[in-house]
A and B are shown apart, each in its own frame.
Chain A
Amino acid sequence: MAGVGFRRWAQALSKGKGSGISALLSGCRAASGLSKDSLPGPYPKTPEERAAAAKKYNMRVEDYEPYPDNGEGFGDYPKLPDRSQQERDPWYQWDHPDLRRNWGEPMHWDFDMYIRNRVDTSPSPVSWSTMCKQLFGFIGFMLFMFYVGEKFPAYQPVVSTHLNARILFSLFFCWCFFLTVTIFSSFKMAGSSFF
């Protein structure tokens, strides 16, 4: 019983002419803004309703196609082609150039998704099969090579560290010896009275 009553109240709210608080209180709508017949309505069932809806949305009757009536909440809103705004002519003088839209033009249901910052349906420069082959080919190749590297590791050759230290020390000793010999002989040759 309470469930039925609650549903009735919710339906009355949603079907009411008002919006928000005004619907709750008075059931009336403000007189400013569009009139009821130029706002979206229920799904059009007769051809006259379709013609009126097409006229309301500034479309030709042949172009007007509402969403299928399956209770998903579209009403008589027109089903426009799913094209992003990026696809529209960049050189035409739109009324709103950043949105590539003219004033009064019917907006797609997902208009805020199809703006140029977001989803883009424009044609890809390379065909789909080429893109798939390149991407998955690269990823597959890299995965395969990493797998092979795991299976057959390859390391740098390294001598023992003790032996390495002895080699380096003896090299340094030789260098010091030759340095002193060079300095000593250069002094000798210059005939200095150092010694």
Chain B
Amino acid sequence: MADYREAPLATRPKTLDPNEYFNLSPEQRRAEEARGALRANLKRQYQLQLNNPHRKELIEDPALTRWVYARGNPYAHFRPTNKTSLLGAMFGVVPLFALYYIFKTDRV
């Protein structure tokens, strides 16, 4: 098991992950505590809304709204560069002409 190599794009099991054993300095612990504080604050906000007996509406999740907005509006931050132009050409322009040519010439 010492020579375990994980699949590409997958993670190592927790027991073989060096992070478990080496990230123990005080800075690391303070960072974890800060992250925990953020998480706890969000939990508190959610629980207050969830258990509020006078609440009649859905609990809106701003993180979800931001995600939906970001995924739905990429063109606001679009810039034509080499890579994006190439991708646009490959997916939008080349199939058009290639398929036209194939359908017109390759007949049964």
Contacts and interface: CB of A to CB of B under 8 A. Distances in A.
Given A58-B42, A59-B38, A74 B6 contact: no
Given A14-B75, A71-B80, A87-B11, A102 B39 contact: yes
A21 to B, nearest CB: 15
Contact of B61 (A62, A77, A87, A103): A103
A10 B39 CA distance: 40
Interface string A47-65: 0000000001111101100
Nearest to A83: B11
Given A39-B65, A105-B63, A107-B64, A121 B11 contact: yes
B6 A105 contact: no
A64 B101 CA distance: 48
Q: How large is the interface on B (under 10, 10 to 19, 20 to 34, 35 or more residues)?
A: 35 or more
Contacts of A123: 6-7, 10-13
A42 B73 CA distance: 11
A70 B45 CA distance: 36
B77 A42 contact: yes
Interface string A89-107: 0000001000000111111
B62 A121 contact: no
Contacts of A74: 70, 74, 77
Contacts, number: 125
A46 B78 CA distance: 20
B42 A71 contact: no
Interface string A15-46: 10001000000000000011000111011000
Contact of A72 (B10, B73, B74): B74
Nearest to A33: B65
Interface of A: 10, 14-15, 19, 33-34, 38-40, 42-43, 56-60, 62-63, 70-75, 77, 82-83, 87, 95, 102-107, 109, 111, 121-124, 127-129, 131
Interface of B: 3-13, 31, 34-35, 38-39, 42-43, 45-46, 59-67, 69-81, 83-84
